[in-house]
């Protein structure tokens, strides 16, 4: 069924707390989508971010980001005093220093945790205990990981003392007892996060808006997942990575891309029936109505770089689990709604795997206008696919168009039947129209493009550190943006 939606991460919502949250503006955005006749709200991964603030490098593949918790709702619930909120830290339109913001918010949430258990509300306490039981398969290790991480001054887990790094049972048991209050705080933060997230998703679904989430294929090198499940990764006996993830050299990156994520030991994972991954997909299916799996090609074959290398030049391609992985998911979970991020270097084997798995792939219009009959041009899109003009890893449409050479701009004008002297705004509108007109079942437009913003609003520039993931709207979109989306949705029967 044809449909459309908007890509806007929760962190990009406006508000007075230095970062978008699951509060008032999130609900207002759902209302905007409903009035614009949109079916999907696409968000980026919602995990707790670490170094570089990337939502694709999280401390856990299952936990939620405490920075997204709305403090106003805790004030309303009587768990914190509104007068205690330090707006010198919080009241900024652009992103505050996220490390400072997290340190402050942790103190506030610790107070809320104390007030919660002081209240001793039987119904809420039972809800908290039920949450902890149902999520114990990841929550216990995550809370312990974060507490130990704090004990070692936030150092990466590979730098901890050996008894902690190698998970000596007696050491961890003793630490858990002596730091029980802190472990409870970390669990409480997750309880609050998912309570607020569930309420927001329920509101969205009631208003005809589905949440389209994102699941990174790899987990962060500094994560509870690797620390607690070392057998699933390519590590040596000392739990150091032997091979890490990345991309081979190409004209855009002469030495390749060195991501640094430890790689999965797929042979070992297959022996478990892909148990951890099946739990992860099942968990994602509960959180989201539709989930994009990042770097789909990694399930067919992945680029493995020696861990000691400083560039990606000496990597090799290794085989992934292939269709066995997706057959196992379908056998256990049925037809989970997934989208395959099938961008980048693709081989015929990757295309065959996508066909066999049956999931929608992706089309990006910013890749389409190279002068040939590109598969990314709208007339070539497959029905079972999702069309974007650009994703979070691309420049905004306006920024991209301004950077195009004259030959590419001429190709765009010819394809869209525009006059050569058409304004930039008219060109952006024409590209949005072309995406809506695509054969693809689902069309998703970045909010920055609906607002006609330039490169200053770009979300991420791959292979760079600093300055990414920080864009926010100054205010909620209005009538003009609503009319634009509604108009194209109706014209192209989405």
Is residue 456 flagged as an active site residue? no
- The residue annotated as part of the active site, out of 70, 214, 341, 342, is 341
- Annotated active-site residue 250? The verdict is no
How far apart are alpha carbons 190 and 63 in whole angstroms? 7
Residue ranges with strand state E in 357-484: 361-364, 385-388, 442-446
The DSSP element (H or E) to which 328 belongs, if any, is: helix 323-333
Cα 491 to the center of its chain, rounded Å: 31
Rounded Cα distance, 317 and 399, in Å: 34
* Contact between 29 and 7 (Cβ < 8 Å): no
Long-range contacts of range 460-467, CB-CB < 8 Å, 24 or more positions apart? 460/54, 460/392, 460/393, 461/393, 462/257, 462/393, 463/253, 463/257, 465/52, 466/52
Q: How far apart are CA 55 and CA 278, in angstroms?
A: 21
Of the residues 294, 300, 441, 449, only one is catalytic, namely 294
204, 10 contact by CB (below 8 A):
no
Nearest to 366 by CA among 410, 407, 412: 412
- Provide φ and ψ at 195, rounded to 5°: -65, -45
> Residue 44 and residue 215: Cα distance in Å, rounded?
8
Query: Do 143 and 187 meet the contact criterion of CB atoms below 8 Å apart?
Result: yes
Locate 199 and state its tokens: 């309420």
SS3 383: coil
- 327 in catalytic set: no
**Angle at the Cα of 245 from the Cα atoms of 239 and 247, rounded to 5 degrees:** 160
Please give the full DSSP string across 318-378, using - where no structure is assigned.
EE--THHHHHHHHHHH-S--EEE---SS--HHHHHHHHHHT--EEEEGGGT-SSS--TTSG
Rg from Cα positions in the chain: 23
Give dist(CA 326, CA 357) in Å, integer.
6
Distance of CA 398 to the CA centre of its chain: 23
* CA distances, 357 to each of 36, 277, 326, 383, 436 (Å): 33, 16, 6, 15, 26
The label of the residue with tokens 């992706």 reads: 362
Question: How are beta strands 243-247 and 257-262 bridged, if at all?
Answer: antiparallel
Is residue 80 a contact partner of residue 115, using CB atoms and an 8 Å limit?
A: yes
Which entry of 31, 168, 313, 393 is annotated as an active-site residue?
A: 393
Report the C-alpha gap between 297 and 34 in whole angstroms. Answer: 34
395's tokens:
């420049």
Strands of the sheet with 301-306, listed across from one edge: 257-262, 243-247, 301-306, 316-319
Q: Which residues are catalytic?
A: 294, 341, 393
């Amino acid at each position: 069924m044809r449909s459309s939606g908007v890509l806007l991460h929760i962190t990009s919502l406006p508000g007075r707390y230095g970062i978008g949250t699951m509060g008032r503006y999130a609900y207002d955005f759902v209302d905007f989508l409903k009035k614009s006749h949109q079916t999907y709200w696409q968000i980026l991964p919602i995990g707790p971010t670490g170094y570089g603030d990337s939502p694709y490098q999280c401390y856990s593949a299952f936990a939620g980001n405490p920075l997204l918790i709305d403090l106003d709702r805790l004030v309303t619930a009587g768990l914190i005093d509104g007068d205690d909120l330090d707006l010198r830290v919080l009241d900024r339109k652009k992103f505050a220093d996220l490390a400072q913001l997290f340190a402050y918010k942790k103190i506030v949430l610790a107070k809320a945790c104390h007030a919660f258990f002081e209240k001793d509300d039987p119904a809420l306490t039972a809800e908290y205990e039920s949450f902890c039981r149902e999520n114990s398969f990841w929550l216990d290790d995550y809370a312990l990981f974060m507490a130990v991480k704090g004990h070692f001054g936030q150092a990466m887990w590979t730098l901890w003392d050996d008894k902690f790094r190698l998970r000596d049972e007696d050491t961890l048991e003793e630490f858990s007892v002596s730091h029980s209050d802190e472990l409870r705080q970390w669990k409480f933060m997750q309880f609050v996060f998912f309570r607020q997230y569930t309420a927001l998703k329920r509101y969205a679904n009631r208003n005809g808006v589905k949440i389209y989430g994102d699941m990174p294929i790899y987990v962060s090198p500094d994560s509870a997942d690797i620390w607690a499940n070392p057998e699933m990764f390519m590590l040596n006996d000392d739990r150091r990575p032997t091979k890490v993830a990345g991309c081979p050299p190409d004209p855009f990156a002469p030495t390749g891309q060195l991501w640094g994520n430890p790689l999965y030991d797929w042979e070992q994972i297959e022996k478990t029936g892909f148990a951890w991954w099946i739990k992860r997909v099942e968990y994602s299916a509960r959180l989201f109505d539709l989930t994009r799996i990042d770097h789909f090609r990694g399930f067919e074959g992945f680029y493995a770089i020696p861990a000691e290398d400083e560039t990606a030049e000496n990597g090799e391609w290794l085989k992934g689990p292939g269709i066995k992985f997706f057959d196992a998911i379908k056998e256990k979970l049925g037809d989970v709604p997934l989208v395959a991020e099938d961008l980048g270097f693709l081989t015929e084997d990757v295309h065959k795997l996508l066909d066999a798995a049956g999931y929608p792939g992706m089309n990006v219009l910013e890749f389409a206008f190279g002068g040939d009959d590109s598969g990314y041009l709208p007339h070539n899109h497959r029905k079972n696919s999702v069309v974007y003009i650009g994703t979070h890893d691309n420049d905004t449409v306006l920024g991209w168009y301004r950077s195009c050479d004259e030959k590419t701009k001429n190709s765009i004008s010819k394809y869209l039947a525009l006059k050569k002297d058409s304004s930039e705004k008219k060109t952006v509108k024409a590209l949005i129209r072309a995406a809506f007109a695509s054969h693809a079942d689902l069309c998703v437009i970045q909010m920055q493009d609906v607002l006609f913003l330039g490169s200053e609003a770009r979300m991420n520039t791959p292979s760079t550190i600093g300055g990414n993931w920080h864009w926010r709207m100054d205010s909620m979109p209005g009538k003009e943006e609503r009319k634009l989306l509604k108009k194209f949705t109706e014209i192209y029967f989405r």
